[in-house]
């Protein structure tokens, strides 16, 4: 008979020797920096090349009715291009408007920093970004992906740095309420392991768990059914596991793990105990999520310039789209 103490014994064995055994069996791939730089340059060129035709297709199905007030100076395509480029350059609204003043000689675009800021709460722009995201996933043929998920935080002020505070607060940082108003925003992203593209994302001003729930809810909008998913120890509980239709949920159990929960949870714990090394090999594909976060923060920084929750969410969506655009020419 399989009991909770058998499960906890296996979890203890992972910490004592199975984890080391797994690390020793894993092949270490050394990065060829010359090849890496060439590949990175190719991805940037491909992303810029694909951007305009993808936006054309994304906005083509949107019908804009006439509204009260003065008409928008920019077309919907121009607004989508502007908000994406603003996030790519990681500039403030005011600085981006100043840069547009310089380029207006060539582009004819003349807008204020307030106009740039309003793009983040422009419903038409948000709809176009959703269309663009779904379009990219369809073009890569992402239907029943093997996935991995992870969360992090973006600083909303230069006085607070998420990485430093998370290190100081350890695992408690994921649910700890920061005294400084609007210090961080939590972000969770779900990645397709094969293409390294983000399928869904979510943000929250309160906790990573709320950001996670928002990302899972987005799966219905993009019409993607998961084949498997990998999550960290924070989601090692029956309620998180039961959120998914797939039986292939890979998590590392907590030291006080029990069999209390649904039959799906019990089957998962039994599989983990009986096939631990195979299970861990699948679980550690979650490293792709950590690599994705690292690459994104090197490109776009640790800070989001917006302040309103809806505009913060749109800014993170733009980062998600750029991440996928950089992968569009890859495997």
Any domain includes 301:
yes
pLDDT tens string for the chain (331 positions)?
788 888 888 888 776 665 566 556 666 666 565 676 777 778 888 888 899 999 999 999 888 776 656 677 789 998 998 899 888 877 655 555 555 554 454 455 667 778 888 999 999 999 999 999 999 999 999 989 999 999 999 988 755 554 555 555 545 544 444 444 568 899 999 999 999 999 999 999 999 999 999 999 999 889 899 999 999 989 999 999 999 999 999 998 888 888 999 999 999 999 999 998 899 889 989 999 999 999 898 888 888 988 899 999 999 999 999 999 999 876 5
Q: Is residue 66 part of a domain?
A: no
> Which pLDDT score, from 0 to 100, does residue 110 have?
63
Contacts of residue 263, Cβ cutoff 8 Å, sequence gap at least 6: none
Asked if the structure places residue 149 within a domain, the reply is yes
Question: Could you tell me if residue 312 is inside a domain?
Answer: yes
Q: Is residue 67 situated within a structural domain? A: no
Q: 93-107 vs 76-89: helix axis angle to the nearest 10?
A: 130
- The domain tally of the chain equals 1
Burial of 33 (0-12, 13-18, 19+ CB in 10 A): exposed
In a domain? residue 68: no
Is there a domain that residue 69 lies in?
A: no
Q: Is 285 part of any domain? A: yes
Bridge partners of 197, per DSSP, are 192
Q: Which residue has the tokens 């029943």?
A: 144
Q: Going along the chain, which residue ranges are E strands?
A: 146-155, 184-192, 197-204, 228-230, 249-250
> Domain containing 82: what range?
4-27+34-61+74-327
| pTM assigned to the model | 0.83
């Amino acid at each position: 008979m399989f009991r909770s103490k058998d499960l906890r014994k296996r979890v203890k064995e992972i910490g004592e020797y199975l984890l080391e055994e797994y690390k020793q069996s894993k092949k270490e791939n050394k990065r060829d920096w010359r090849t890496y730089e060439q590949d990175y340059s190719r991805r940037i060129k491909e992303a810029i090349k694909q951007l305009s035709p993808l936006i054309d297709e994304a906005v083509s199905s949107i019908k804009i009715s006439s509204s009260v007030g003065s008409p928008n100076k920019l077309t919907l395509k121009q607004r989508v291009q502007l908000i994406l480029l603003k996030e790519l350059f990681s500039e403030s609204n005011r600085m981006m408007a100043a840069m547009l003043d310089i380029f207006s000689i060539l582009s004819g675009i003349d807008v204020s920093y307030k106009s740039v800021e309003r793009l983040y709460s422009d419903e038409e722009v948000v709809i176009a970004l959703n269309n663009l995201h779904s379009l990219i996933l369809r073009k890569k043929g992402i239907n029943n992906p093997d996935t991995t998920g992870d969360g992090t935080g973006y600083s909303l002020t230069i006085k607070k740095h998420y990485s430093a505070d998370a290190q100081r607060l350890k695992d408690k940082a994921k649910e700890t309420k920061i005294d400084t108003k609007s210090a961080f925003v939590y972000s969770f992203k779900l990645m397709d392991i094969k293409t390294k593209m983000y399928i869904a994302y979510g943000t929250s001003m309160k906790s990573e768990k709320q950001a996670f729930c928002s990302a899972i809810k987005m799966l219905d909008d993009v019409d993607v059914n998961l084949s498997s998913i990998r999550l960290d120890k924070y989601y090692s509980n029956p309620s998180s596991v039961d959120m998914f239709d797939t039986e292939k949920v890979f998590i590392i159990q907590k030291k006080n793990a029990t069999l209390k929960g649904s039959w799906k949870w019990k089957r998962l714990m039994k599989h983990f105990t009986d096939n631990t090394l195979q299970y861990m090999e699948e679980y550690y594909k979650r490293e792709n999520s950590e690599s994705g976060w690292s690459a994104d923060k090197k490109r776009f920084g640790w800070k989001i310039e917006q302040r309103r929750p809806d505009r913060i969410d749109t800014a993170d969506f733009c980062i998600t789209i750029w991440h996928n655009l950089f992968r569009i020419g890859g495997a």
